Amino acid sequence: DLVYANATNGELPRLPYDHERLRDLAEQAMEPGPFGYVEGSAGRERTALANVEAFSRYALRPRSLRPRSRDKGGLGVTLFGESYPTPLLTAPIGVLEQVHDRAELAVAEGADPVGVPMVLSTASSTPMEEVAEAVDFWWYQLYWPGDDELAESFVRRATAAGAKAIVVTADTKRLGWRPRDLAQGHLPFLRSQGTANYFSDPVFRSRLKADPEPDGVFTEAVFHFLGSFADKGLSTDNIARIRAWTDLPVLVKGVLRADEAVELAEIGVDGVVVSNHGGRQIDNSVAALDALPEVVEAVGERMTVLFDSGVRSGADVAVAMALGARAVLLGRPWVYGLAVDGAAGVEHVLRSFLAELQITAELLGRDVADLDRGDVARR
Ligand code: FNR
């Protein structure tokens, strides 16, 4: 409400409210390599385009005078038995110091006061324990390394540092074909430290002959990092093993099919994130939003289904929630806010999304947490 009140009372925004203009400002503010890394997607980038276009195929169905089912107002949701003040989380984004010097610490400063928890990437530029100090709620995203003892160490560290859930990313057994990075010779993981969680890890360090040199490129440690980045044999067996390491809820991110979601439900996974990694892994794959209904139908009663990929406004969040997502992860929009204006930019983007979501839900006659299939139709 404050966003709306201030903006209509002569106060001009520091940043635009629409995604495309913010992205253009970020492009001006960033070096071409890092901008290409963030904006780029796999192949001809058809998946990324489809993600955004998919939202226009669904239409919200206001029933303006419907009595409110629970007169809470507000944006709160319950996930895994915990109350969250909003249904948004920041999606895990690796090597953020390419976007801003203060990386995850600036994100924490912008997102925490707005009630948006971070899902911290395995490839974060800041060790997870430092991020944990700076935020209230956070979740840990695991890229399962090709070294199970290292995977165990990451999960145990995250649990000890107070993460509220573990999100295993399933769609990145290796990086996709990303022409923008290739054309610019920009391999983000080599240029910069997506390695903070690795270099600070006792298991990782025990694998090295010598201490990692700070800022080293092509050192033994960096090669070891690249070699242990992802387990190409990642399967449901890995996911089942996590249970021995943590009592936290376990989610799998990057699920696009009902059959896979059912398999995960059967091995006791607590949640899935329907996502195609923002189109960065496979060109011309199904739009994430188009996969959401089948996954919700198959496992929505048994598992918590979350969503990301292509969300560009508060109204988009409402559509994803109406289709059954219990919460939504935001990616590129806040990354551009971070590039242009640091923590304040992150906060601006998140506040705008939340304000539009709240206004939209009120106009639909709904509480955000109660949005359902009846609130949306195929256009
Ligand atoms: C990502 N994504 C990602 N996912 C993940 O599980 N671990 C990671 O480290 C990263 N890193 C990453 C970097 C950048 C620059 C981007 C844009 C994305 C995927 C991310 O979590 C999310 O799925 C997408 O960003 C959603 O798509 P949109 O909405 O950003 O287009």
Interface predicted TM-score of the whole assembly (ipTM), two decimals: 0.99
List C-alpha distances in Å: 319 to 47, 126, 224.
19, 33, 42
List C-alpha distances in Å: 110 to 87, 306, 350, 351.
16, 22, 8, 10
Compute the 3-state secondary structure of the chain and give helix, strand, coil in percent, each to the nearest 5: 45, 10, 40
135/154 Cα distance (integer angstroms): 19
Q: Is the CB of 91 under 6 A from ligand 1?
A: yes
Give me 25's structure tokens: 């400002």
Is 277 part of the annotated catalytic residue set?
yes
Would the annotation count 239 as a binding residue?
no
Would the annotation count 92 as a binding residue?
yes
Would the annotation count 143 as a binding residue?
yes
Would the annotation count 168 as a binding residue?
no
Residue whose CB lies within 8 A of the most ligand 1 atoms, among 49, 93, 274, for a mutation test: 93
User: Class of the 2-64+75-373 domain?
Assistant: alpha beta
Residue whose CB lies within 8 A of the most ligand 1 atoms, among 139, 280, 328, for a mutation test: 280
Query: Strand ranges (DSSP E) for the chain?
Result: 58-60, 77-79, 82-84, 88-90, 118-120, 138-142, 166-169, 250-255, 271-274, 304-307, 328-330, 376-378
Q: Could you tell me the distance, in angstroms and rounded to a whole number, from the CA of residue 294 to the centre of ligand 1?
A: 22
Q: Could you tell me the distance, in angstroms and rounded to a whole number, from the CA of residue 98 to the centre of ligand 1?
A: 14
Owner of token pair 């994130």: 273
DSSP 121: -
124 CB contacts (<8 Å, ≥6 apart)? 94, 96, 103, 104, 131, 194, 196, 197
Per-residue pLDDT of the chain (379 residues; tens, 9 = 90+): 667 776 677 778 889 999 999 999 999 999 999 999 999 999 999 999 999 999 999 999 998 887 766 556 689 999 999 999 999 999 999 999 999 999 999 999 999 999 999 999 999 999 999 999 999 999 999 999 999 999 999 999 999 999 999 999 999 998 899 999 988 887 776 655 678 898 889 999 898 887 766 655 556 777 777 777 788 889 999 998 999 999 999 999 999 999 999 999 999 999 999 999 999 999 999 999 999 999 999 999 999 999 999 999 999 999 999 999 999 999 999 999 999 999 999 999 999 999 999 999 999 999 999 999 999 999 9
Q: Is the CB of 169 under 6 A from ligand 1?
A: yes
Backbone angles phi, psi at 258, to 5 degrees: -60, -40
List C-alpha distances in Å: 173 to 144, 150, 196, 228, 292.
8, 16, 20, 11, 22
Nearest to 279 by CA among 290, 264, 294: 290
Q: Taking the domains of the chain in order of start, what are their residue ranges? A: 2-64+75-373
Q: Is the CB of 308 under 6 A from ligand 1?
A: yes
